[in-house]
Amino acid sequence: MQAKLIPKPSGDPIIIADDLTLVGRHREYCDVVIDSGSISKLHCVIVKTDGLLFVRDLGSTNGTKVNGQRITRGALLPGDELAFAKEKFEVFLGPDVEEASNPDETEVVTEFSIPAVMRPKRGDDEIEFLPDDSAQ
């Protein structure tokens, strides 16, 4: 799975290549460095696992938001707006370039199942995965 953060309104995409990506302004410790005074030294961590993307705020001063809602942790879906303080990004999730580049090995999928994810409510630190049969 390829995951990217696309700066809004414009800029070069940030590739989320590792399973754990530390975001902040500390050049020595962070995988993604955002040079802005509103970003904490260790702002948040992005976790990529089993085709899903999650974010967890690390107690940052100015917060992490998903679609305008301040979160401590939560799931990220394609097209979500992820904001670190005032810096905003669109979440992109898709197949790896190598997976999609060979037409002889491209699989056409006509039916698929995506696990439903309940976003945590305020004050709720748990992310609930619903059974496949509950997905619409």
* Residue range 26-38, pLDDT digits in tens: 999 999 999 999 9
Residues 6+ apart with CB under 8 A from 76: 46, 53, 54, 55, 66, 82, 91, 93
As a whole number of angstroms, the distance between CA 124 and CA 70 comes to 12
Average pLDDT over residues 104-115: 52
Tokens of 124: 């709720």
pLDDT category at 134 given cuts 50, 70, 90 is: very low
* Residue range 64-86, pLDDT digits in tens: 999 999 999 999 999 999 999 99
| CATH class of the 2-103 domain in this structure | mainly beta
- Alpha-helix residue ranges (DSSP H) falling in 52-123: 97-101
pTM for the model stands at 0.69
Average pLDDT over residues 26-54: 94
